[in-house]
Amino acid sequence: MNDILQINNASVSFGPPSNRTDVLKDLQLSVKENEFVAVIGFSGAGKSTLMNLLSGLQQPSSGEVLYKGESIKEPGPDLGMMFQNYSLLPWLSVLDNVKLAIGAVEPKISKSELDEKAHHYVKMVKLDHAFDKKPHELSGGMRQRASLARTLSLDPEVLLLDEPLSALDALTRSELQDQILNIWEKDKRTVVMITNDVDEAVLMADRIVPLTMGPGATLAEEFEVNMARPRDRHTLNDHPEFMRLKSEITKFMMGLNKESKELAADIIPMPKVEPKSFAPPVLSPTFKQNPVSRKGNNNVA
Amino acid sequence: MKLLKQLKYSLLKVIDLSGLTFLAPIVRLCYGEEPKVQLQKIGQWILVPIAGVCAFLFLWHITSGSIQTKSGTLPNPVETWQGYNAIDTQAEREGLKKTSYELVGEERDQMLADAEDRLAEVKVQVAETNAAVTAAKEAVDAQTKELIAPLDKEYKELKSQYKAASKARKAVLVTDADSLKAGNVAEYNAYYEKVEESVVKTAQEKEELSILKKKIDKIREIKSPEVAKALLEQTFAAEEAQYLSKQIELLSDRNRAVQVETATGMISTYNEEFLSLTGKAAYDKARSIAKAKERLSKMESSSYAQPATIWYQVKRSIFCVFTGFIIGTAIAVPIGILCGLNSTFMAAMTPFIAIFKPVSPIVWLPIALIIVSGLIPDPDNNPLMLFLWDLPLIGEYKINPAFIASAVTVALCSLWATLANTALGVASIDKDHMNVARVLKLGFFARLFKIVIPSALPLIFAGLRISLGVGWMVLIAAELLSSSEGIGKFVWDQFNNGASDSLAKMMVVVFLVGIIGLILDRIMIVFQRMVTFEGSVSV
């Protein structure tokens, strides 16, 4: 058995015992070594909570989360987490942020080695022009790269990427996707990435696991991505397998959305009341209100 | 060109860091950047404040004359400025006296000659000013006499007139009393009324007289500005003459080198005499020589006992406030960090913080003074004090129990702002940053020094800035009460002194304390800005 990460029947609930809400319920997941798994889900489904579970920042209310067959009691550098909101220390420069991480993992490292190693990781994410910059002097994409450099510098067994590219514009995004893939291919390790972008998931992952709508979200039937690597993003749109997977997953996700809306049918219907106007009628053009689009999440598609 | 541009940005950065933002428009204007906007900003942030100061000085000048105090009117800006000059001159003279005492050789001769020349000049001035004062006083006296003469005459006339009238009334009433028939109530009542009437009349006359007398006194009391001016000049000249004669003394007989020389000469004559003496006389001479030698050795190492000047007091006050501030910080920051880290500890500390925080410095000071004096009963022989007095830089400030008590009071009153801010800063640390620490598996101390403290620093420094401001305010009061040499003691001395310019000197202190407080605050702002990072919690 070479499952490096495993979730067995784990649930996470919040709130007092009398009024508990299950955020995640009956999770089942196993990740093989050197596998790239993408978890896809809607905003608010509990993706970050799932990530916290995997990194050990949070303990499951029931069930267990295993790393190399042992239950995860506390977070550690082996499970390298890249936080959704960068979490760079704002009073340190990019280089010092990376150095702090390396110093924490290898306390006995010499000063010159530390320096060299930190430079290496910053260069790896192509931030060498911004060594001495403080996080607030960087753009969103650069911050995310700095955060990635810090996570990589831990030399983790498992990379946990929590929506690493969500805040980026399309161009920077594809650039960073390539970088992550490059790093992963060069230096094989296990990756669990959370995303809300189907294209991204299909492009990058070996396996895609959808997370259903919360509350009580759980991991649904997974999709295998059987496409040869390296995958070329330029010809991807002509790849029949890519198109098939994309449409299938999108359909599945849209179905989830619809399902959840039907589930939410017990919303108390509001009486249709309109305030009576006592104002005298005015001769002015009136606007018809545009029907609000109720097409759930625009990220999916 | 590029260098010039770089200079501009570094200048603007320095201005921003130091918080002297009103200078930024000037720099920008020099580089010709939007002159209209910059001129408008200069008008708003430089010219308007200057106009405000001018308006304040003008109002002060015109109102101060009509505010009567125990020692004359409230000093106006000019008199306050003179008060400053007087304080500064005194400080300068004390410095010169010390130099005079220590000076040797040709320099001493030169200075002595200069001082004697100057004294000759000043003596003439003294005589002149004395004459001027006498003349001014005589002129005023003559004027007053002229004013008073008719009133005085009227007063005297009225007085004798009323005295005669009262005597006459009394005589009439006494004779009337002889004819009273015993038992006749109506007659007695009528007589009593007459007596009462006479008493009231006498009282009325007395009242009239006293009103007149007061009028005369008021004229006598009027202080002539000419006399005041003459007196001021007289004081100046007399003070300088006194200073110069003292300086001459210190340059000649009481100069250290001269004294040493005289004593050495005396010892050598004693030695010669000693060699030719026998018996008791020889013993006596030997004893005299031994005593003289002892005196000599003391003399050689002695320094001039200089009284505290204002600048020494200012320096000592600043030193004292920083001593208290450092003590307070050393207490507040660790406790604040513990409070922020641990809510149980916070709960345990809350009652103490809540009760001690509002206590006034006036209460802390006597307690601190008693405790410190109890711990150090005899400062002149206390090893700690002697150690502190021998230290190179701070030795000259002669740390004594009053100083320590003032510093402790400053610490006790100022630490609360730092404590509260540190606790808040530590408690409000970003959860993501703590998660980073958890993923990195940082130990307690690494977490403390690499995550917690850097993240709380902006708030800690905001607290320190408030603390220093509070401490400076508290210190002046503490020094005033504990008689610890410093600005507060200067005010107290002036209050007790009651000279004609004491009030002006106290007004000078108002500005002195204000300006030093402003500088301290600015320094703390620079520190605060240096540790502040983007997105930090600000107060």
Q: Could you tell me the CATH number of the domain that includes residue A28?
A: 3.40.50.300
pLDDT score, position B539: 47
Query: Strand, helix or coil at A208?
Result: strand
- A104–B433: do the CB atoms touch at under 8 Å? no
In this complex, the residue of A81, A89, A136 whose CB is nearest that of residue B439 is A81
Q: How many CB pairs under 8 A join A and B?
A: 59
B430 interaction partners in chain A (CB closer than 8 Å): 87
Tell me which DSSP letter residue A272 carries: -
- B435–A134: do the CB atoms touch at under 8 Å? no
Mark residue B221 as left, alpha or beta (left: phi above 0; alpha: psi -120 to 50; beta: remaining): alpha
- Average the pLDDT over B273-290 and give the result: 88
- End-to-end Cα, chain B, rounded Å: 40
Residues B83-124 have pLDDT tens digits of 999 999 999 999 999 888 888 888 888 888 999 999 999 999
In this complex, the residue of A74, A87, A136 whose CB is nearest that of residue B436 is A87
B window 404-443, beta carbon within 8 A of A? 430, 432-433, 435-436, 438-442
Q: A59 and chain B: CB distance < 8 Å anywhere?
A: no
With respect to residue A2, please indicate whether it lies within any of the assigned structural domains.
yes
B436 interaction partners in chain A (CB closer than 8 Å): 83, 87, 89
**Residue A243 domain boundaries:** 1-69+192-268
pLDDT score, position B537: 54
Question: Tokens 């291919």 sit at which residue?
Answer: A185
Question: Tokens 């001269």 sit at which residue?
Answer: B258
Closest CA to B516 of B307, B320, B308: B320
Closest CA to A69 of A3, A161, A9: A3
Please report which residue ranges of B342-382 form alpha helices under DSSP H.
343-356, 361-375
Mutate to test the interface with A, among B439, B444, B457, B528 (most CBs of A within 10 A): B439
Residues A1-24 have pLDDT tens digits of 468 889 988 888 888 888 888 888
Cβ atoms within 10 A of the Cβ of A265, count?
7
With respect to residue A57, please indicate whether it lies within any of the assigned structural domains.
yes
Residue type, B264: T
Question: Tokens 């239950």 sit at which residue?
Answer: A71
With respect to residue A38, please indicate whether it lies within any of the assigned structural domains.
yes
In angstroms, rounded to a whole number, what is the distance separating the alpha carbons of residues B195 and B175? 12
Torsion of CA B92, B93, B98, B103, to 10 degrees: 100
With respect to residue A110, please indicate whether it lies within any of the assigned structural domains.
no
In angstroms, rounded to a whole number, what is the distance separating the alpha carbons of residues B98 and B104? 12
pLDDT band at B64 (very low <50, low <70, confident <90, very high): confident
Closest chain B CA to residue A160 = B439
Closest CA to B12 of B23, A138, B305: B23
pLDDT band at B144 (very low <50, low <70, confident <90, very high): confident
> Which long-range CB contacts under 8 A does A235-239 form with residues at least 24 apart?
A236/A203
pLDDT at B516 over 90: yes
Q: At what angle do helices A94-105 and A111-124 cross, to 10 degrees?
A: 120
In this complex, the residue of B441, B451, B534 whose CB is nearest that of residue A76 is B441
- B534–A154: do the CB atoms touch at under 8 Å? no
Query: Strand, helix or coil at A159?
Result: strand
Peptide bond before residue A215 is cis, with ω within 30 degrees of 0: yes
Helix (H) or strand (E) holding A11: strand A3-14
In angstroms, rounded to a whole number, what is the distance separating the alpha carbons of residues B404 and A128? 54
ipTM: 0.78
Please answer whether residues B209 and B159 qualify as being in contact, where contact means their C-beta atoms are separated by less than 8 angstroms. yes
Query: Strand, helix or coil at A5?
Result: strand
pLDDT band at A155 (very low <50, low <70, confident <90, very high): confident
Tell me which DSSP letter residue A211 carries: B
Question: Tokens 């026998």 sit at which residue?
Answer: B278
Q: A85 and chain B: CB distance < 8 Å anywhere?
A: yes
pLDDT band at B135 (very low <50, low <70, confident <90, very high): very high
Number of domains comprising chain A: 1
Residue A35, min C-alpha distance to chain B (Å): 22
- Average the pLDDT over A216-244 and give the result: 84
- A105–B536: do the CB atoms touch at under 8 Å? no
Cβ atoms within 10 A of the Cβ of B162, count?
17
Strand partners, A207: A37, A224
Please answer whether residues A162 and A48 qualify as being in contact, where contact means their C-beta atoms are separated by less than 8 angstroms. yes
Q: B99 and chain A: CB distance < 8 Å anywhere?
A: no
In this complex, the residue of B439, B442, B455 whose CB is nearest that of residue A55 is B439
How open is the CA angle A274-A279-A280, to the nearest 5 degrees? 125
**Distances in whole angstroms, Cα of residue B418 to Cα of each of A78, A268, B381:** 39, 52, 36
How many Cα atoms occupy the beta-carbon half-sphere of B333 within 13 Å? 21
In angstroms, rounded to a whole number, what is the distance separating the alpha carbons of residues A76 and B440? 6
In angstroms, rounded to a whole number, what is the distance separating the alpha carbons of residues B364 and B406? 9
**Distances in whole angstroms, Cα of residue A274 to Cα of each of A270, A277, A282, A284, B365:** 12, 9, 18, 20, 71
- Average the pLDDT over B362-369 and give the result: 94
- B450–A80: do the CB atoms touch at under 8 Å? no
pLDDT score, position A115: 92
With respect to residue A6, please indicate whether it lies within any of the assigned structural domains.
yes
Q: Which two tokens stand for residue B347?
A: 């709960």
Closest CA to B494 of B482, B509, B484, B511: B509
- Between B401 and A280, residue with greater pLDDT: B401
